[in-house]
Structure 1
Amino acid sequence: MHIDARELENNSVIEGDICIVGAGAAGISIALDWMDSAYKVILLEGGGFEYDDKVQELYAGKTTGQKYFPLKSARLHYFGGTTGHWAGMCAPFDPIDFKKRDWVPNSGWPISKKDFDPFYAKANKILKLGPYNYEYEYWYNELPNLTAFPLDDKVVWNKIWQYSQARYGDLYKKAIVESKNIHLYTYANAVDIKADDNISNVKEVIVKNYAGKTHKVKAKHFVMACGTIQNARILLASNSQAPQGLGNDNDLVGRYFQEHLEVASAELWLVKPFSTNLYSWEYGVTKASAELAITEEIQTKEKILNGTASLTPLSLAKYQKPRMETWQNSDPRKSLENMFANWGEAAEKAKVEKGNIERAFQLNTRIEQAPNPSSRITLGGEKDELGVRRANLHWELTALDKYSVRKIYQILGQQLGIAGIGRIRLNEFLRDPNDNTFPDSTNGGWHHMGTTRMANDPKKGVVDSNCQVHGISNLFIAGAACYPTSGAPNPTLTLTALSLRLSDFLKNKMI
């Protein structure tokens, strides 16, 4: 069922059993899991079914620290969320990502990879992926020409990705709108959360829109699924009862903002061409491919973060501008056009340099960011048109981030040399071991994580292992905001699995 909140009578009261705030990957995944149940599900979406620049403007904010994308264009604010323009890269986190690592400050999840596995399998289906199998051997037998570089698998392994074309807005709109028990309210922007006098139970969420309408939503349980930045922003802005914001007794809401560092880091020159499709990818065609990753044993030995290296033909890569340069328009549609235009231009120029394509590559890093409490979301002094203070992002990297990127390519260079198949040339920004800075050309993956991190100790996290906000019995956070660490893979598969795990927990609470 679909209701446009702009058309409701002002000050309407909306009631249900569970209220999900946000209709992106996390929120829609949870809603689908409750479809055809005996419970009334309220699904709130701040935008409509199409892009609206006035609604998108609600995401605008300021950034400081390491150069970042304009916040307005870093997320999409309509039904389906940022799956409206994602690349579809999916891989599960590795077992080490959940572990406490003594060389990674503030690492460690209160749950393990085994806790995720059944929900990863379920998430694979929602994302329209293949089987929940990310082993190289399986895909080597499934697809042609996936020969791997002959490297020591005790040091370097092939991290497999599957590719989803799931645009949640297109894929699940009909099912949600036609559902009898899911009530989708569009143009219903959450602006405040009201709790009881003890601030131990949420009573209602206040929503507003540009039509000048204000409504109240009441439910037994509330799930914030607005994305990493907006989840933190709404909690911080809900400060009429708790001056520092809801769930923020220990000054943790908004801290530990994490991104994936995606940066061109080195060149790989093979001794001779190596025929394989394993390390290449074409959107809409490739079912599975791999990136080079460092084993858990070597990560532990060298005390580095988890990251991967992908290959782009050097003849193409040298004409591609960093995404941090092409994606600087606050309108996400124009930034997307700029990026695609550069890619098209690079492809045309690369056609005349076919001689290098088969043996010269740019190595691109995708690596987790070390959890850093100074990397954070705060509220600025300016308010949006609905009266909510805007989010400010301070993105701050550490020496461990830089050391890890450099060490990964030293390890890969050694292994490629030992195998006799090629040599690696580090990019200039990695050559000085005493330089811990990153260039402005360092890309983020648009992968926002960590601002309401998970820990069973309320002094170390905002939510517990079931994604419940500490001290508030019926308020939950869904999505990558809960990640204590960010792993190397893109977050969508894992955030979908975590959301389904939360959904399962809520179902048991309803019994």
Structure 2
Amino acid sequence: MTDGQHLRADVCIVGAGPAGITLARKLAKHGHAVCLLESGGEDFEQDAQSLYTGASVGMTYYPLENTRLRFFGGTIHIWGGRCGQLDDIDFERREWVAHSGWPFGAEALAGYYRGAHEILRLGSYGYDERLWREIGASRPPFDEKLFTTRFWRFDKREEPFALRHCEDLVRSENVEVVLHANAVHIQAGPDARSVTGIRISTLDGRQGKVSAAYYVLACGGIENPRLLLSSRDVEVNGIGNGFDQVGRYFMEHPHCRAGRLDGNRSYALWDGMRKRYLADNIAVAPALLPTASLQREKEILNCALTFKLQRDPSRGISTGKRIYEHLRHELAPDRRGRRIYYTYRGLKRWFDRNLRPTVEHALSALGITGLTLIVRAEQAPNPHSRVRLSNRKDILGLPCPELDWQLSSQDKNTVTVLTDTLGSEFERLGMGELKKSGWLDEPALEWPVDLGVGPHPIGGYHHMGTTRMSADPRTGVVDADSRVHNYRNLYVAGSSVFPTSGWANPTLTIMALSLRLADHLDTRLRN
């Protein structure tokens, strides 16, 4: 990018992560000119990464600059590869979950889920209980009226959206990839009904502009609202924020240890619900979910329950776990650091697949380990959980983000109800007593900092909901087509548009939504 450069395209996409790259690829195949802006370079650069610095003033959370990566490919460079598909109920309006409901049903994404699945090379298609037959294993014997099973599939490639794996974009005559181009301002027209351009800047002071027929923000659940809120020369509260919705409803997938089952029967359950199986040469892992009928009856949220054989918490955290958490959260995410992390992760997966069953069986027989219930919880949409702008500015002059993450009594009650229900199932099956974690009986909403799960009670850097979909601009930021309400040509891609988070990791849904948005924009451009 040269100083003063004015770029033009049919579609300008801000952010080269899974959402933006997936969208750019499909639009290019449709024959449209795309300008794909990326703040960082081809690999990690500390100066670019520092632009992610922000404050966290709510629930205990990671430093914001550690939860995202600012270079081509985005945070998927430290992705675990875990892919899941939302359930039908995750899209529904649930009377017991305030602010729930997507503006379309699960059927609207069915074909796009398959498309995302194929892009990620996840083998034969399927995420539900029928997969038990394919992997040659039996479904756990829990009451089918209470619990069902779903599967994650794992992308076995490292860094599938790295620039070296996106040569099709680089070679395409329809795509212009611009690195080190920071979007610093969305220029709205005087009537606040359309966008006329995106101002861009580099860290060394070069300035430029992009003009396009359509603009798509694909910067993630913190940067999307940050850019909308900071562009306020026409709309004083920020673009698309006439009803104070931008930045609200921030959701994560909070994790916790909910209970523990000791005794020899625990190994058999762990062996059936183990971390990995192979299906069509792709790693898959089962999770236990509450059925839709149980969610309705108990008025709870959706969750994924998994099991770990662990030492008693009083014995402390294992050395291997400490090494893994250090590599994941403390090692610099440059190419060398990621190589160390991926090498260790590969060794760990080999151990899990080839040696862990034998080791765990012996430890369980000796009474050294017990079965720990791990909950990956859906978080209820909460307007008080939000991203705001702080008074501090970054080196480019943009206000830094401030995250006020809030959990509710419904989030905690869901874990309590599921733990109690599962405990009753253990007793019915003669598997022993599930000892509920003590924090669930305490009145405080704060979830425990638990190194047995991770350094904080959090999920996997899943930033959702801050530009949520809604048919009504009074309750959301974008419509069913991901278009910012009242704006003719401004769209948002990624998990920030999720009205609810559901149980599943968001990447597959992010990509499905991007494929859907590409078809919508193709139609608009052709008309």
- The alignment's TM-score, normalised by the length of structure 2, stands at 0.88
Matched with 2:62 is 69
Shift of residue 308, structure 1, vs aligned partner: 1.3
- With over 3 angstroms needed to count, the CA separation of the structure-2 counterparts of 1:324 and 1:485, relative to structure 1, is farther
Separation in 2 of the partners of 1:354 and 1:235? 53
Matched with 2:419 is 409
- With over 3 angstroms needed to count, the CA separation of the structure-2 counterparts of 1:16 and 1:134, relative to structure 1, is same
Deviations for 1:146-189, whole angstroms, at most 9, x for unmatched residues?
Answer: 22221111111111111113521156321111111111111111
Q: Does 1:20 align with 2:29?
A: no
Matched with 1:133 is 126
Give the match's secondary structure for 1:458.
coil
Q: Does 1:367 align with 2:377?
A: yes
Give the match's secondary structure for 1:292.
strand
Q: Does 1:280 align with 2:295?
A: no
Shift of residue 122, structure 1, vs aligned partner: 0.5
Separation in 2 of the partners of 1:126 and 1:342? 23
Deviations for 1:203-259, whole angstroms, at most 9, x for unmatched residues?
Answer: 000111112111100000001001110000000010111111000000010000000
Shift of residue 332, structure 1, vs aligned partner: 4.8
Matched with 1:79 is 72
Selected match of 1:118 from 111, 119, 124: 111
- With over 3 angstroms needed to count, the CA separation of the structure-2 counterparts of 1:411 and 1:60, relative to structure 1, is same
The answer to whether the 8 Å contact 1:403/1:436 transfers is no
Which runs of no fewer than 5 residues in structure 2 stay unpaired? 451-456
Matched with 1:173 is 166
Q: Does 1:158 align with 2:173?
A: no
Amino acid corresponding to residue 215 of structure 1 in structure 2:
G
> Following superposition of structure 1 onto structure 2, how do residues 102-251 of structure 1 map, counting pairs within 5 Å?
102-137=95-130, 139-144=131-136, 146-166=137-157, 167-169=160-162, 172-251=165-244
Which runs of no fewer than 5 residues in structure 1 stay unpaired? none
The answer to whether the 8 Å contact 2:59/2:446 transfers is no
- With over 3 angstroms needed to count, the CA separation of the structure-2 counterparts of 1:94 and 1:327, relative to structure 1, is same
Shift of residue 408, structure 1, vs aligned partner: 0.9
- With over 3 angstroms needed to count, the CA separation of the structure-2 counterparts of 1:177 and 1:501, relative to structure 1, is same
The answer to whether the 8 Å contact 2:381/2:500 transfers is yes
Amino acid corresponding to residue 362 of structure 2 in structure 1:
G
Shift of residue 283, structure 1, vs aligned partner: 10
Q: Does 109-118 or 324-333 show the bigger shift? A: 324-333
Matched with 1:307 is 303
- With over 3 angstroms needed to count, the CA separation of the structure-2 counterparts of 1:308 and 1:467, relative to structure 1, is same
The answer to whether the 8 Å contact 2:276/2:285 transfers is no
Q: Does 1:294 align with 2:285?
A: no
Selected match of 1:481 from 476, 479, 496: 496
Selected match of 2:363 from 356, 367, 370: 356
- With over 3 angstroms needed to count, the CA separation of the structure-2 counterparts of 1:120 and 1:292, relative to structure 1, is same
Separation in 1 of the partners of 2:59 and 2:337? 19
- With over 3 angstroms needed to count, the CA separation of the structure-2 counterparts of 1:34 and 1:316, relative to structure 1, is farther
The answer to whether the 8 Å contact 1:270/1:423 transfers is no
Shift of residue 38, structure 1, vs aligned partner: 2.7
Q: Does 1:380 align with 2:390?
A: yes
Shift of residue 423, structure 1, vs aligned partner: 3.1
Shift of residue 331, structure 1, vs aligned partner: 5.0
The answer to whether the 8 Å contact 1:89/1:162 transfers is yes
The answer to whether the 8 Å contact 2:140/2:269 transfers is no
The answer to whether the 8 Å contact 2:250/2:463 transfers is yes
Deviations for 1:413-454, whole angstroms, at most 9, x for unmatched residues?
Answer: 11122122343111221134x443322331232100000010
Give the match's secondary structure for 1:109.
coil
Shift of residue 352, structure 1, vs aligned partner: 8.2
Shift of residue 366, structure 1, vs aligned partner: 0.4
Deviations for 1:276-309, whole angstroms, at most 9, x for unmatched residues?
Answer: 7552235998621201111000011001111011
Q: Percent identity?
A: 34
> Following superposition of structure 1 onto structure 2, how do residues 446-485 of structure 1 map, counting pairs within 5 Å?
446-485=461-500
Corresponding pairs, count = 499
Shift of residue 354, structure 1, vs aligned partner: 5.7
RMSD, matched Cα: 2.8
Give the match's secondary structure for 2:28.
coil
Matched with 1:426 is 436
- With over 3 angstroms needed to count, the CA separation of the structure-2 counterparts of 1:288 and 1:328, relative to structure 1, is closer
Separation in 2 of the partners of 1:23 and 1:480? 14
Separation in 1 of the partners of 2:461 and 2:337? 13
The answer to whether the 8 Å contact 1:262/1:366 transfers is yes
Separation in 2 of the partners of 1:353 and 1:276? 9
Matched with 2:454 is none
- With over 3 angstroms needed to count, the CA separation of the structure-2 counterparts of 1:440 and 1:185, relative to structure 1, is same
The answer to whether the 8 Å contact 1:327/1:339 transfers is no
